[in-house]
Structure 1
Amino acid sequence: MNELRPLRNSLLDVRNLHAHFLTDAGTVKAVNGVSFQIGQGERVAIVGESGSGKSAMAMSLLRLLAYPGKVVSGEINLDGRDLNRLSERQLNEIRGREVGTIFQDPMSSLDPVMRISKQMIPPIMRHLGLPQDKARAEAINWLDRVGIPDAARRIESYPFEMSGGMRQRVMIAMALSCRPRLIIADEPTTALDVTIQAQIVELLKELTAETGAAMVFITHDLGLVARFAHKVGVMYAGKLVEFGAVRDIFARPLHPYTQSLLDTIPPAHQQERRRLVQIPGVPPDMKQAVLGCAFKERCAGAHRHCFETAPELDMRQPGHSAACWLPDGLGQDRFVEQALIPAMEPSGEPGDSRVVVEINNLHKHFVSRSSLPWRKPPVLRAVNGISLRISKGEALGIVGESGCGKSTVARLLLGLDPATSGEIFIDGMAQMVFQDPSSSFNPKMTLSNIIQEPLVVTGWGTRTERQGRVRELLSQVGLDESYLHRYPSQLSGGQRQRVAIARALALKPSVVVADEPTSALDVSVRAQIINLLMDLKQKLRVSFVFISHDLLTVSYISDKIAVMYLGEVVEYGPADEVFHNPAHPYTQALITAVPIPDPEAEAARAQKPLSGELPSPLNLPTGCSFASRCPEATDYCRTHKMVLKPFSKTRETACHYAS
């Protein structure tokens, strides 16, 4: 391996870091010899699949690994001091003061029974040596800077009284309040809407630029990497397999794993729709010794040398290192293989425009219980008069922020909730694919029983016919008969989602409602599931309602898109038109917030992220529901309601000034 030379103005210098989890089943070598450097003010993103060691490496930097994790060797030099040699007491002086941490889930990091003031003020007093009144003023100042409205009042709120975006802002304020020189952010935007995610990313960029703090940013979203990072480290099986400047990594990736990750991203234009690249196999078991390159079993370019000796992370060009025996990884050959894959064919058959789902003026209201018997109970208007049509073999994508009514529409379609008013006509049967299949499976049932459960409940066929149908369904979702007697706990996330899809198809429904079916999956597994859904859509001519906050995936898989805001459809039309020429200001804001996996394109985007949060459906605005957040709103918008109207021959929008 090339020896790391200290960077000029280097802040963090990690050398040959090893971290293990000592379990009863064996030693998991989660971090297996990681070395990298970060300069003052640099933002370095660490990417890779689940289990690659990203979070374990990040938590090892401050020796925050949960039991039974342990840093076993290596150097973690922060401005010349090896943190691995410090005592716990010495580390406590550095944690918060020198290094701030932003965790993935603020609700599990913030104390739910303590006010924000009690969680922010004491660390400021301790690390900055300020009296309580000045520490309180400093905390309020940081809450204000991260966009918490009425910070002087909200500092006395409890975490559960805030939205997810506001809680994450509080976490950022806490991490920055002691003015650390390094920030470790572990998936800080994973559970957030695309609009809130864009706000958080821009906020982190502004504050790190202002304070000069460096950042280690753990993520699986390659679009965010292109928008946010200066450098990228790609981890696989506990090691860095590629490291370099973000523009170099995206323009000319050198490791087959990096190339494969980038090739799993759906193309933005439907004219370019192709089967997404799938990375075969799964990452190696880190309890077992790895001989040779850890990626060899999944690499199309692997040769004999890869199975015998592990390549080291070597410098290929100034500032760009890769650990691969091939000088250019898979090179341009990988694009030739992709070009051989036929383009997606249009859904359905010529002349077949049979409508399988028709929704007319649908409303769903939830009446809350009032604590005062003489006061009229508040009404939450979750769905407010939407009308949609879905043809046979067509995929409709429904997008919007959390709380806009997407999942409520799904429950209404399936009859899980009764509609307050309106009509739903379904030609055939609707079935559901849930976001987390594990929560919808009985862990004590085999896959055979899970898949045939709908058949048994409806009395479909004989036992032999049901078993035959289960084998047919497994084949359709790409699993063989060896899975019949397995339990959900014996499957990977992608395999569980395939089983969920098989169960949904058991009774041959005319429409399948998929609620965030890929949000919890790695990019490589997500590509497999997206390809599967596209195959089923074409072969079985099943219609899909695809609900997601991932607009890039929605635009790829959908024929039409309905954009929802506060229980209403504000734009509706062909997916490519909506995504690339949005008419409604809200759709424009959503598209702007979508990170593009191209650093050059991201650098050219100058639009400001959508500010503010969704108004409460308990108190709907009298005029346009988007007026309070719309940069183009007028007094007329605030007083006059707009309904969906034709914008072009193929599209509708609900805006007075759509352009």
Structure 2
Amino acid sequence: METDYLLDSDPLLRVRDLHTHFETESATVRAVNGVSFDIQRGERLAIVGESGSGKSAMAMSLIQLIAYPGRIVSGSVQLENKELVGMPEKELNRLRGKEVGTVFQDPMSSLDPVMRISDQMITPIRMHLKLGPKEARLLAIDWLSRVGIPDAEKRIDAYPFEMSGGMRQRIMIAMALSCNAKLIVADEPTTALDVTIQAQIVQLLKELTETTGTAMMFITHDLGLVARFAQKVAVMYAGKIVEYGTVHELFAHPKHPYTQSLLMTIPKISGEKSGRLLHIGGFPHDMKNQIIGCSYKERCSAAASRCHMEAPPLQERGGTQASACWLEHGLQTEGLDKIVSLDKHNKPQTAAVSMNYTKTAAGEADGHVLVIKDLHKHFKRDSLLPWRKAPEIKAVNGINITLQRGETIGIVGESGCGKSTTARMLLGLDEPTSGSIEVSGNIQIVFQDPYSSFNPKMKIGDIIAEPLNVQGIGTKEERRFKVRELIAKVGLEASYLDRYPSQLSGGQRQRIGVARALALNPSVVVADEPTSALDVSVRAQIINLLCDLKEEMGLSFVFISHDLSTVRYISDKIAVMYLGEIVEYGPAERVFTNPMHPYTKALLAAVPVPDPVIESQRDIQLVSGELPSPANPPLGCAFHSRCPLVTEHCVSHKPVLEDYQTTRQVACHAVS
């Protein structure tokens, strides 16, 4: 086997030539297409790649949980020399949980909502470790304490819905480790979490693997997390590993064109802000089709005739590094420059738009298009006890924002800080308790998940035309012409108009969401987490598109996200929200390069940098705890329970958002 030099003689997990197929009526999907690797005891291996690369299918194949109609066609998976492929289900059930633990992306769908945490933890502990009920409960409480659950003795009897997302994920980690598992398979365990909670979870996983000696396979598309957490990295593409090495080798000297391109698509959280982001052209290989030659050839600027005829093997490139490319060093400087150059000129081609957009160059203010004054939104809940008054939830508690034409404001903060409630009020979906919203023109939205906002039975052309039809704008022929202009505006061909949402990729669907938002000639577009569900390369395409539209059409954006690197790239100014209030507000570059509020500093410190050298040298002071409940906010400064600079004055006196050095505003007693 060509990868023998990568493989150890006595690994914890040994995978050899694994193939997993999904048999459908129309075709066979070869999701895992010959994967071989080892995981050593106590080792942290990251698996990275775009959606559809086979990461999750491979991980589920390892523990024999591949869903129908998937099946392992061939290959070997051995845990401590025990063959798992073909093992009877009864034996696999004894192994799962005890020797192999799993942490899934969405803990709420993995935990039983009608069972207490105690029942879900204690049962497997008793089964696998043969302990009595008292001993099993004490062990479960101990593990909950070890993963940072406060008041574990009481919280163990709570239900999952009574916990926050971060707490539920900690419970999943405690469950995975409680039976002394030797290997943890973590499939995107931090994707749905805020950046602060994500940083806490990654640090927790790292510390636990170091103290317990448990090995971990960490599946993610976040290369920053890989740099912070992993020791080894395997890059997957089209069901195969195309590059493998230590985290330092792979980030310092990537050898495969796919890895090199992935690393160049990431917006930076610090340093000089670059121009247009690189994105990888084309789409991943359709695994229903047979692969002839290199699977990456259609997207590679260095592809030669040999690449179209002969598949490159995974071969040694020095040290422990290996890549599946005929070129020893992948794309040279010339090839990388070519990609960047092509991308700079690959802007959406548009026809002469007839919708009377006001053309204003970005940054040339010609009046405010959005003014928010002292905006409040309080929710009143009915009390279960008639003699007890239910607490009022202050979701948004007096914010002020102004937005000029052609300007983008990024609103950042943890879940529960009031970002989405603000967006709903801007769109008229929630009525403010008090305050005012003034919009010049109209306001539209681009949703986080376009697929759930589309009618799956409607063609793309009808989806884009729907706002025009509802408002009765123009004749049928005029609407058809405008729809063709709109789809050209977002960089797609007119042929897509006859397709259905299920026939488009995630990035294409998001472009359609943008086109629909533009149909009514908005002056302001609210983009609510528009890139969070997208791969890093597709994310770059959407960011570039929004920047192009802002420049060409003078559009203004309210960009809501927890991805701070994306927010920094696209925004002109930033509003940092905490518990319904703005705690820092000002120009994006100043906020990112010199944050003043302790919460802003904590958010930026939590963002992982896609460089293992920098990550190893960072003295990261993670914010502790989670966002307090808006139904019972702290007295004084809302952040004081988590702030490293807290004083007695902070506990009793609420800070006011005040001007700081003329360019921004900060609400903090420690800032003068």
- In the TM superposition, what is the alpha-carbon distance from 1:243 to its structure 2 partner? 0.5
In 2, the alpha carbon distance for the partners of 1:597 and 1:350 equals 30
Once the two structures are overlaid, the 10-residue window that deviates more, 136-145 or 58-67, is 58-67
Could you say if the C-alpha distance between residues 57 and 607 of structure 1 is closer, same or farther in structure 2, counting changes exceeding 3 Å?
same
Written as runs of structure 1 = structure 2, the 5 A alignment for 1:196-595 is: 196-269=197-270, 271-337=272-338, 340=341, 348=361, 352-595=365-608
Q: What residue number does 2:49 align with?
A: 48
In 1, the alpha carbon distance for the partners of 2:363 and 2:57 equals 53
Could you say if the C-alpha distance between residues 524 and 379 of structure 1 is closer, same or farther in structure 2, counting changes exceeding 3 Å?
same
- In the TM superposition, what is the alpha-carbon distance from 1:93 to its structure 2 partner? 2.3
Q: What residue number does 1:74 align with?
A: 75
Count matched residues: 657
- Classify the secondary structure of the residue corresponding to 1:518: coil
Once the two structures are overlaid, the 10-residue window that deviates more, 547-556 or 31-40, is 31-40
Q: Name the aligned partner's letter for residue 135 of structure 1.
A: A
Could you say if the C-alpha distance between residues 289 and 398 of structure 1 is closer, same or farther in structure 2, counting changes exceeding 3 Å?
same
In 1, the alpha carbon distance for the partners of 2:312 and 2:99 equals 35
In 2, the alpha carbon distance for the partners of 1:576 and 1:41 equals 41
In 1, the alpha carbon distance for the partners of 2:90 and 2:583 equals 56
Could you say if the C-alpha distance between residues 112 and 308 of structure 1 is closer, same or farther in structure 2, counting changes exceeding 3 Å?
same
Q: What residue number does 1:655 align with?
A: 668
CA displacement 1:478-515 (0-9 Å, x = unmatched): 01111222222221111111111011111211110000
- In the TM superposition, what is the alpha-carbon distance from 1:350 to its structure 2 partner? 7.0
- In the TM superposition, what is the alpha-carbon distance from 1:348 to its structure 2 partner? 3.3
Q: What residue number does 2:348 align with?
A: none
- Classify the secondary structure of the residue corresponding to 2:204: helix
CA displacement 1:529-559 (0-9 Å, x = unmatched): 0110010010001000000000010001101
Could you say if the C-alpha distance between residues 460 and 150 of structure 1 is closer, same or farther in structure 2, counting changes exceeding 3 Å?
same
In 1, the alpha carbon distance for the partners of 2:126 and 2:469 equals 64
Q: Name the aligned partner's letter for residue 108 of structure 2.
A: M
Written as runs of structure 1 = structure 2, the 5 A alignment for 1:98-113 is: 98-113=99-114
Q: What residue number does 1:623 align with?
A: 636
- Classify the secondary structure of the residue corresponding to 1:513: strand
Could you say if the C-alpha distance between residues 600 and 353 of structure 1 is closer, same or farther in structure 2, counting changes exceeding 3 Å?
farther
Q: Name the aligned partner's letter for residue 250 of structure 2.
A: I
- In the TM superposition, what is the alpha-carbon distance from 1:45 to its structure 2 partner? 0.3
In 1, the alpha carbon distance for the partners of 2:376 and 2:308 equals 61
Q: Name the aligned partner's letter for residue 368 of structure 2.
A: V
1:90 aligns with 2:67: no
Q: What residue number does 2:13 align with?
A: 12
Once the two structures are overlaid, the 10-residue window that deviates more, 293-302 or 264-273, is 264-273
Q: For the Cα contact (< 8 Å) 1:270–1:576, is it kept in 2?
A: no
Q: Percent identity?
A: 63
Q: Name the aligned partner's letter for residue 148 of structure 2.
A: G
In 2, the alpha carbon distance for the partners of 1:606 and 1:529 equals 33
Q: What residue number does 1:151 align with?
A: 152
Once the two structures are overlaid, the 10-residue window that deviates more, 611-620 or 350-359, is 350-359
- In the TM superposition, what is the alpha-carbon distance from 1:3 to its structure 2 partner? 4.2
In 2, the alpha carbon distance for the partners of 1:522 and 1:3 equals 28
- In the TM superposition, what is the alpha-carbon distance from 1:81 to its structure 2 partner? 2.1
- In the TM superposition, what is the alpha-carbon distance from 1:8 to its structure 2 partner? 6.0
In 1, the alpha carbon distance for the partners of 2:271 and 2:94 equals 53
Q: Name the aligned partner's letter for residue 307 of structure 1.
A: H
- Classify the secondary structure of the residue corresponding to 2:85: helix
Q: Name the aligned partner's letter for residue 655 of structure 1.
A: C
- In the TM superposition, what is the alpha-carbon distance from 1:522 to its structure 2 partner? 1.0
In 2, the alpha carbon distance for the partners of 1:54 and 1:4 equals 21
CA displacement 1:580-626 (0-9 Å, x = unmatched): 21100000110011111111111111223211111111112220000
Q: For the Cα contact (< 8 Å) 2:410–2:575, is it kept in 1?
A: yes
Once the two structures are overlaid, the 10-residue window that deviates more, 324-333 or 53-62, is 324-333
In 2, the alpha carbon distance for the partners of 1:185 and 1:294 equals 27
Q: What residue number does 2:613 align with?
A: 600
- In the TM superposition, what is the alpha-carbon distance from 1:270 to its structure 2 partner? 7.3
Q: Name the aligned partner's letter for residue 214 of structure 2.
A: A
1:609 aligns with 2:622: yes
Q: For the Cα contact (< 8 Å) 2:14–2:78, is it kept in 1?
A: yes
Could you say if the C-alpha distance between residues 444 and 317 of structure 1 is closer, same or farther in structure 2, counting changes exceeding 3 Å?
same
When normalised by structure 1's length, the TM-score is: 0.97
Q: For the Cα contact (< 8 Å) 1:348–1:394, is it kept in 2?
A: no
- In the TM superposition, what is the alpha-carbon distance from 1:289 to its structure 2 partner? 1.3
- Classify the secondary structure of the residue corresponding to 1:484: helix
- In the TM superposition, what is the alpha-carbon distance from 1:82 to its structure 2 partner? 2.1
Once the two structures are overlaid, the 10-residue window that deviates more, 107-116 or 351-360, is 351-360
CA displacement 1:337-389 (0-9 Å, x = unmatched): 3664769xxx8367635211111111111111122333333211110000011
When normalised by structure 2's length, the TM-score is: 0.95
In 1, the alpha carbon distance for the partners of 2:309 and 2:106 equals 41
Once the two structures are overlaid, the 10-residue window that deviates more, 357-366 or 92-101, is 92-101
- In the TM superposition, what is the alpha-carbon distance from 1:256 to its structure 2 partner? 0.8
In 1, the alpha carbon distance for the partners of 2:334 and 2:612 equals 23
- Classify the secondary structure of the residue corresponding to 2:546: helix
- Segments of 5+ residues of structure 2 without an aligned counterpart are 346-359
Q: Name the aligned partner's letter for residue 2 of structure 2.
A: N
Q: For the Cα contact (< 8 Å) 2:364–2:406, is it kept in 1?
A: no
- In the TM superposition, what is the alpha-carbon distance from 1:80 to its structure 2 partner? 2.1
- In the TM superposition, what is the alpha-carbon distance from 1:429 to its structure 2 partner? 1.0
In 1, the alpha carbon distance for the partners of 2:180 and 2:363 equals 63
- In the TM superposition, what is the alpha-carbon distance from 1:88 to its structure 2 partner? 2.1
Once the two structures are overlaid, the 10-residue window that deviates more, 97-106 or 213-222, is 97-106
In 2, the alpha carbon distance for the partners of 1:140 and 1:636 equals 36
Could you say if the C-alpha distance between residues 350 and 212 of structure 1 is closer, same or farther in structure 2, counting changes exceeding 3 Å?
closer
- Classify the secondary structure of the residue corresponding to 2:12: strand
Q: For the Cα contact (< 8 Å) 1:28–1:287, is it kept in 2?
A: yes
Q: Name the Cα RMSD after superposition.
A: 1.7
Q: For the Cα contact (< 8 Å) 1:113–1:158, is it kept in 2?
A: yes
In 2, the alpha carbon distance for the partners of 1:98 and 1:375 equals 49
Q: What residue number does 1:115 align with?
A: 116
- Classify the secondary structure of the residue corresponding to 1:84: coil
- In the TM superposition, what is the alpha-carbon distance from 1:103 to its structure 2 partner? 1.2
In 2, the alpha carbon distance for the partners of 1:353 and 1:652 equals 23
Could you say if the C-alpha distance between residues 188 and 350 of structure 1 is closer, same or farther in structure 2, counting changes exceeding 3 Å?
closer
1:187 aligns with 2:188: yes
- In the TM superposition, what is the alpha-carbon distance from 1:10 to its structure 2 partner? 2.1
In 2, the alpha carbon distance for the partners of 1:276 and 1:50 equals 20
In 2, the alpha carbon distance for the partners of 1:529 and 1:99 equals 38
**Runs of 4+ deviating beyond 6 Å:** none
In 2, the alpha carbon distance for the partners of 1:21 and 1:193 equals 34
In 2, the alpha carbon distance for the partners of 1:370 and 1:91 equals 48
Once the two structures are overlaid, the 10-residue window that deviates more, 140-149 or 642-651, is 642-651
In 2, the alpha carbon distance for the partners of 1:180 and 1:592 equals 31
Q: For the Cα contact (< 8 Å) 1:8–1:39, is it kept in 2?
A: no
Q: For the Cα contact (< 8 Å) 2:278–2:340, is it kept in 1?
A: no
CA displacement 1:118-165 (0-9 Å, x = unmatched): 111121122222222111111110001001111111111111111111
Q: For the Cα contact (< 8 Å) 2:363–2:407, is it kept in 1?
A: no
Q: For the Cα contact (< 8 Å) 2:301–2:338, is it kept in 1?
A: no
